[in-house]
Amino acid sequence: MVVEHRTIELWGKKVFEKAVVKPPFRNPNPLPDEACFLYVLEGGNQSFSEEEQLSLQQDEAVLMKCGQYMYDGQADPKTGHCGLIAIHFYPDILERLYADKVPNFLKNRSEVQFRSNMTKITAQIPIQKYIEGLLYYFENPSAVPEELLILKLKEIILLLLHTPDAPAIMEIMHNLFSPKTFTLKQVVEAHIFSDLQVNDLAKLCQHSLATFKREFKRIYKDSPANYIRQKRLERAADLLRVTEEPISHIAYDCQFKDVAHFSTAFKAKYELTPSHYRMSFRAK
């Protein structure tokens, strides 16, 4: 449920955004032609790209280049809310912003090869103070002239480039608007052990659910639900053989929310309960 949502525009586009939600709250966050800096005000956030997953807590942030994303808000134990600040970067706005002198990260983009679509940022005090200043403007939108918005957008870019995470940030910055394409198989294999549902995977692939299932069947000769369940059970079996982790922990690690359901599914596949399966290998 959305508790609060405010935006501030520059030159007709949403640039600064504040959202407070009450989890559970999972939503797609497509960025087809923009990049985004996402900061956690309260609670936490799980960010998923086509091939990556990042867990963020309060006062942590992520810089995301253009691509397909999901975010999953985590509730603050005291307020029950998840609060987020997003700053959006658009190619045309940045080019207009730096019309007099184009910075290096907007030039020669092909010279830096990107490995990630997003990078985690631990906010230092300057960024925390910057966010505190933004909160005032969300409460007082009439006090935000265009000139100040321009300065605030430039300021966050400078702050990001002078953090300890600057090397990874620079890699993302050089490729903010260079889309990286992913196959359905790459997305699926990256998230078999993520807490994503089949419809979430479809959205990351930019497919309708029906198209995703059809393509999945063509590639894997199986349904998404059965294939993913079998892979998770195989991983659980590996963990039972080589670790001393409690069975409940293994079940949750392999994305089974209910231990009884996990035990039933495991026995159906291996003809032994998880505990008997583990003991059979110890006996050997």
CB 152 within 8 A of CB 180: no
- Order of strands across the sheet that contains 70-74: 25-28, 70-74, 44-48, 53-57
Question: What domains can you pick out in the chain, each with its CATH number?
Answer: 2-174 (2.60.120.280), 184-283 (1.10.10.60)
What is residue 166's predicted lDDT score, i.e. its pLDDT?
82
Evaluate the CA torsion angle 178, 184, 190, 191 in order and state its sign: positive
Which residues 6+ apart lie within 8 Å of 1 measured at CB? 21, 22, 25
CB 16 within 8 A of CB 134: yes
CA 169 – CA 123 distance, rounded (Å): 13
Q: Is 76 helix (H, G, I), strand (E, B) or coil?
A: coil
CA 190 – CA 187 distance, rounded (Å): 5
What is residue 100's predicted lDDT score, i.e. its pLDDT?
78
CA 99 – CA 231 distance, rounded (Å): 51
What is residue 106's predicted lDDT score, i.e. its pLDDT?
62
What is residue 105's predicted lDDT score, i.e. its pLDDT?
64
Q: Among 92, 238, 119, 104, which Cα is nearest to 177's? A: 92
Token readout for 38 is 């996402």
What is residue 123's predicted lDDT score, i.e. its pLDDT?
78
What is residue 22's predicted lDDT score, i.e. its pLDDT?
97
What is residue 95's predicted lDDT score, i.e. its pLDDT?
85
What is the chain's pLDDT, residue by residue, as a tens digit (284 residues)? 999 999 999 999 999 999 999 999 999 999 988 899 999 999 999 999 999 999 999 999 999 998 999 999 999 999 999 999 999 999 889 889 888 776 766 665 545 455 678 999 987 899 999 999 999 999 988 778 999 999 999 999 999 988 888 888 877 777 777 767 889 999 999 999 999 999 999 999 999 999 999 999 999 999 999 999 999 999 999 999 999 999 999 999 999 999 999 999 999 999 999 999 999 887 66
Token readout for 105 is 């990260």
